[in-house]
């Protein structure tokens, strides 16, 4: 299984989910950030592959991928929807423990 391809699929899913949310609800929401966190050490084979494809080490353990949708919106809910879609793809396709996180700005 090619990690790069799965991450690209997750990015597409995140962008689509964020776009659909914005189309339906608009860009009116609190400002904030969203990311995907994967419970994986950077020293493992999977961890190294994730780091090579845009993930960074998290201060709270594991690896993080900020704003997987690549959206320029500041709406926290739109970004959360995208992060959740990306995490779902990573869980299903890579079998890793991935989940979305967010915080207000």
> What digits encode the pLDDT tens for the residues 41-100?
999 999 999 999 999 999 989 999 999 999 999 999 999 999 999 999 999 999 999 999
What is the residue whose two structure tokens read 């860009």?
A: 27
Question: pLDDT grade, residue 28 (50/70/90)?
Answer: confident
Kindly report the pTM of this predicted structure. Answer: 0.95
Query: How many angstroms separate the CA atoms of 77 and 74, rounded?
Result: 9
Q: Domain total for the chain?
A: 1
Rounded to whole angstroms, the Cα distance separating 36 from 22 reads 19
CB 38 within 8 A of CB 96: yes
- Please determine, for residue 12, whether its predicted confidence score (pLDDT) is greater than 80: yes
Domain encompassing residue 52: 3-104
Residue with tokens 């962008």: 15
């Amino acid at each position: 299984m090619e990690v790069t391809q799965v991450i690209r699929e997750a990015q597409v899913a995140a962008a689509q989910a964020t776009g659909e949310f914005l189309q339906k609800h608009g860009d009116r929401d609190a400002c904030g950030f969203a990311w995907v966190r994967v419970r994986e050490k950077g020293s493992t084979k999977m961890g190294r592959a994730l780091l090579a494809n845009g993930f960074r080490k998290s201060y709270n353990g594991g690896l993080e991928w900020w704003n997987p949708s690549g959206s320029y919106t500041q709406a926290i809910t739109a970004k959360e929807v995208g992060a959740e879609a990306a995490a779902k793809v990573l869980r299903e396709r890579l079998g890793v423990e991935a989940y979305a996180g967010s915080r207000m700005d």
